[in-house]
Amino acid sequence: TAPAGRDFTPWPDSFARRYRERGYWRGQTLHGRLAEVAARQPDRLALVCGERRWSHAMFDARIRGAAAGLHRLGIGRGDRVVLQLPNIAEFHVACFALFRLGALPVFALPAHREAEIGHFIKHTGARACITVAREGGFGHAALFRRLQARLPQLRDVIVVGDAEGGIAFDALDRGDDVAAVDDATAVAFLQLSGGSTGTPKLIPRTHDDYLYSLRESARICGFDPDTRYLCVLPAAHNFPMSSPGAFGTFHAGGCVVMARQPDPASSFRLIARERITATALVPALALAWLESKARLDADLSSLALLQVGGAHLPRDVARRLMDGLEARLQQVFGMAEGLVNYTRLDDADEAIASTQGRPISEDDEIRIVDDADRDVPEGEVGHLLTRGPYTIRGYYRADAHNRDAFTDDGFYRTGDRVRRLASGHLVVAGRAKDQINRGGDKIAAEEVESHLMTHPAVFDAALVAMPDRWLGEKACAFVVLRDALPPRELQAYLRGRGIAAYKVPERIELLEALPRTAVGKVDKRALRARFPSPVFQET
């Protein structure tokens, strides 16, 4: 069946014209910028991965080689290619090689399994994927081969490292240079949304808009050729990719160090060895850093900037990070759909500890509204709507959903509840969308509920967030059963359906019936009220 909906919703002409006039959109592509940096400073270090150390010239050569090889496989302009890779250098080689060809990486997270990956392939009509044979004991290439049997449109399974008989990514690096596709107005890739719907939505980002957000992010965060950025969150996530992340580091001519293991001790070793200057963490990981014994004898003196974002950072944890680490703390409140807010490096300590920053751009339009889309009085909490030079106007092939997710005049409904201070800084006060933020990993309640409902013994199910000391939130499923069943079996059932492990609820509570509101909807507020403390508390 043909996917319903438009691939890309353009900005209206008047907006596009303004964004160009103001110099936000400059007609340069992501790969074009990288090639420019490589030409200007070929010998500076660009990428460190394990024992491999590549200069910008070597990185550029590998990108060109991979692009030539992918081209020979027939991959070209407009093709979608699912990327599922751990934090290794090839992640970036593959990205920029696909950009050069005008092909679109579809960014999957390493935790995704049959259900998510199968959906990405079907929904985008992907004709190839790039992955590894195995990581953390899981066979990724085998997963794609199983899916290929069902979805023959997936022609090529390309494998980094030991290809196990598949197409070896490393062997692509041969052949003549292929001319780069240089259309900065084109969609560069499909990014994953946190989502709150039954199936994950994909986010089309253009070269023009993404490059603008990278460039400004790098400036705000003071990235320059001396920046050494540690990529410890999954590289495919928008935060370590673009805020300013790895792409912002490349843009600034700095060096990205890939952390394949996310545990604090491994990161501390890399920080000391590579003299890391900046990194990005989710609050759960920042807390793990604080509590890690390895911190006491680690040399973290090079770390000048510690960014924390992706989920609510409690004020007391922010204060402990400021006291316990020499690095400047920065809160980042962003979303793959666009809008990113940063506390500024020269903000007062209290603003850094207790706000989630202010937008990148003067042209990031912010509205804070009530349930009827009327502006709330200044300083009060409301729904955050936004529109701007790097915020999408529509999801990929999702016309029906887009009518709800955007206002008629193009504002994106973030689903976040915020208030704004006189300084323009935003404070995230809660969430209206039906999502669980499990330590930065977003779980769409509806998605897991529909998987639960396919079990013959399940009559009704509702997923809500419950408080967790480490992750901030975890998922709890309230389930009404038709036939007796140990809750543990439902968790095993969900895993068997092939959904990412982080989406499997840690707790399952059996009920006689779900509480309902006057209009007959499941009363999730009542379900959440069963937990002793609220999950999300503005501090």
Q: Which amino acid is at 167?
A: I
Q: What does the alpha-carbon distance between residue 40 and residue 56 come to, in Å, rounded to a whole number?
A: 9
- As measured in angstroms, the least distance from the Cβ of 18 to ligand J2J is 23
Q: Judged by CB, which is closer to ligand J2J: 33, or 442?
A: 442
Q: Is 342 within 8 Å of 411 (Cβ atoms)?
A: no
- As measured in angstroms, the least distance from the Cβ of 384 to ligand J2J is 8
What token pair was written down for 519?
């209009």
- As measured in angstroms, the least distance from the Cβ of 399 to ligand J2J is 21
Cis peptide bond N-terminal to 487, omega within 30:
no
Q: What does the alpha-carbon distance between residue 88 and residue 161 come to, in Å, rounded to a whole number?
A: 11
Q: Judged by CB, which is closer to ligand J2J: 286, or 504?
A: 286
- As measured in angstroms, the least distance from the Cβ of 419 to ligand J2J is 13
Beta strands in 113-232 (DSSP E): 128-132, 134-135, 138-139, 156-160, 167-168, 187-192, 202-206, 228-231
- Greatest extent of the chain over all pairs of C-alpha atoms, in Å: 68
- As measured in angstroms, the least distance from the Cβ of 374 to ligand J2J is 21
- As measured in angstroms, the least distance from the Cβ of 378 to ligand J2J is 21
**Could you give the dihedral angle defined by the CA atoms of residues 442, 498, 113 and 132, in that order, rounded to the nearest 10 degrees?**
150
Q: Judged by CB, which is closer to ligand J2J: 90, or 416?
A: 416
- In the complex, the residues that contact ligand J2J under the rule CB under 6 A are 194, 238-239, 242-243, 309-312, 331-336, 340, 356, 414, 416, 428, 431, 437, 442
Q: Judged by CB, which is closer to ligand J2J: 227, or 238?
A: 238
Q: Judged by CB, which is closer to ligand J2J: 361, or 437?
A: 437
Q: Judged by CB, which is closer to ligand J2J: 156, or 473?
A: 473
- As measured in angstroms, the least distance from the Cβ of 536 to ligand J2J is 8
- Angle of helix 487-496 versus helix 445-453 axis, rounded to 10: 100
Closest-approach residue to ligand J2J (CB) = 334
Q: What does the alpha-carbon distance between residue 422 and residue 399 come to, in Å, rounded to a whole number?
A: 37
Q: Is 462 within 8 Å of 527 (Cβ atoms)?
A: yes
Q: Is 110 within 8 Å of 84 (Cβ atoms)?
A: yes
Q: What does the alpha-carbon distance between residue 115 and residue 428 come to, in Å, rounded to a whole number?
A: 31
Q: Judged by CB, which is closer to ligand J2J: 180, or 428?
A: 428
